[in-house]
Chain A
């Protein structure tokens, strides 16, 4: 079983969401997702200041196996992108919940967070998908 930190929220498409005190959220892909994708070779992060809606494809992670879209779990405005991933995409593999973060979004509506799963619901979701 891969690591699923208890303090984060999760989407069905395997993004994690960390809620910060300043009304922004940090988003990345889960350890389970990076494991499925394999070694990252490229990450395309979103443009800062662009607006996103829930389930917009706003970033791309490309591994040796596939290129996959990252869907925004919330609506809002991109306030930061992890440009370091351009040169070091492998951080998504090595530290998916830390240095491998992808983007920071200023929430348009906090209610979006209610649609996300907590750690135990996500663990069930992963297990259900595996079977």
Chain B
């Protein structure tokens, strides 16, 4: 049987049967202006040898620099067993199967994933994942606006220290739905949201976003912020780092009632950085909001004979059933990525995850100590942090970074483009992968370079 089952003859027969001249005619309601004429950059074919060569050249461009950059993607150790198991034939599918219930193994894995994420976030339910952390935040915002029945507002309070790419992505996705963002500035000395600066009469708003840690690595006063938002009948969306949750209070425990929705980027849990993707987004929420949650949800049930089994559940929320009223146009998940993540979490266990978190924090502390001991290097904020810190250089940052790149070292993320007020500021990170020698190497290079400028 051919893999592509429609012969030209069969296509002709189908078109004749429905009385259509050409396949193109089936798409005539899509305006010409929206169509992409052709994929000019994509060659029609290439030999395996040529493709191999091209891919090796591309891969070499990434290099293997000594990485002190985080800013949303993190260089964590991934046990060799994770991808060895993930790429076994039984697991190696990128997608929720169409005949979902025929694939009980896949569904069980998704169910285990949901259980782990719900536990990590201390919330009742998790979906089976979304595309990435940024789009997960956008979906959380749409969800909050739908779910907050005490507020008719489409106003969202968005701290400036939420990841800039997340803010841009969220805005691009929600702006045509009349949802507006009101920026909350961070405190200049702590880099965090100062609860005292929040207005006593904020007016009606649907949700407050709380990043933990925030983009600068700092730890927010999540309890006070959560209670403040709930007092004003707003929902709370936590944007969290899953590794940090091993040592920090999980969103479900924030304040008196806990955050309502938690979302974030799943990459730190077993996904290689691989030029920026594919990653995956996670999302958890309270039971009361589950019918507003986007994406797939797997449930455990029993069959007619009383045997346990797994099934797609709450599908009435989804696009294929509820059409335009669906919670989201996302009816899929990042199957392969969360297969790896689930195996990763299972291998590490809660203790392992905690050790990763503590080692990352410890290494970052050492890094900051070493770097700020150099003349002309200072920590910018005075707040508690997880595994990222903002440092400011007295020398032109671009020049310093060029010199460090030449040493095959990735020194961190330059903040000035997104935060003009943070001139010559660098967001640095040291995960458990950076040992004392690596940190010493960074400090020595930086000291030498700074002394010449």
Contact = CB atoms under 8 A, between A and B. Distances in A.
B291 interface: yes
A69 interface: yes
A101 B325 CA distance: 23
B148 to A, nearest CB: 10
A67 B317 contact: yes
Q: Which of A44, A47, A57, A62 has the most CB of B within 10 A?
A: A62
B149 A67 contact: no
A23 to B, nearest CB: 25
Nearest to A61: B316
B291 A66 contact: no
Interface in A19-71: 41-42, 44, 47, 57, 62-63, 66-67, 69
Contact of B291 (A44, A57, A63): A44
Contact of A66 (B149, B150, B316): B316
Contacts of B322: 66-67
A62 B291 contact: yes
B321 A47 contact: no
Interface residues of A, number: 10
A67 B321 contact: yes
Contact of B316 (A47, A57, A67): A67
A62 B149 contact: no
A62 B327 CA distance: 14
Contacts of B149: 47
B96 to A, nearest CB: 20
A59 to B, nearest CB: 11
Contacts of B317: 67
Contacts of A41: 316
Interface residues of B, number: 8
Q: Which of B149, B150, B316: most chain A CB closer than 10 A?
A: B316
A17 B90 CA distance: 55
B147 to A, nearest CB: 10
Contacts of A62: 291, 316
A57 B317 CA distance: 15
A41 B325 CA distance: 18
Contact of A69 (B291, B321, B325): B325
B206 to A, nearest CB: 14
A97 to B, nearest CB: 24
Chain A binding surface SS class: strand
A69 B149 CA distance: 16
A69 B326 CA distance: 11
A47 B316 CA distance: 21
Contacts of B291: 42, 44, 62
Contacts of A44: 291
A57 B325 CA distance: 11
A57 B322 CA distance: 14
Contacts of A67: 316-317, 321-322, 325
Interface in A56-102: 57, 62-63, 66-67, 69
A67 B314 CA distance: 10
B224 to A, nearest CB: 28
Nearest to B321: A66
Interface in B138-174: 149-150
Contacts of B321: 66-67
Contacts of B325: 57, 67, 69
B315 to A, nearest CB: 9
A107 B150 CA distance: 22
Contacts of A63: 316
Interface in B261-310: 291
A91 B330 CA distance: 32
A40 to B, nearest CB: 11
A57 B324 CA distance: 13
Nearest to A67: B316
A58 B325 CA distance: 13
Interface in A102-122: none
Contacts of A42: 291
A104 to B, nearest CB: 17
A78 B240 CA distance: 38
Interface string B314-355: 001100011001000000000000000000000000000000
Interface string B24-50: 000000000000000000000000000
A67 B324 CA distance: 12
A63 B315 CA distance: 11
A84 B40 CA distance: 60
6 contacts: A42-B291, A47-B150, A62-B316, A63-B316, A66-B316, A69-B325
Interface of B: 149-150, 291, 316-317, 321-322, 325
Given A66-B321, A67-B325, 16 more contacts: A41-B316, A42-B291, A44-B291, A47-B149, A47-B150, A57-B325, A62-B291, A62-B316, A63-B316, A66-B316, A66-B322, A67-B316, A67-B317, A67-B321, A67-B322, A69-B325
Closest A-B pairs by Cβ, 9 of them? A67-B316, A62-B316, A47-B149, A67-B322, A66-B321, A66-B316, A69-B325, A42-B291, A67-B317
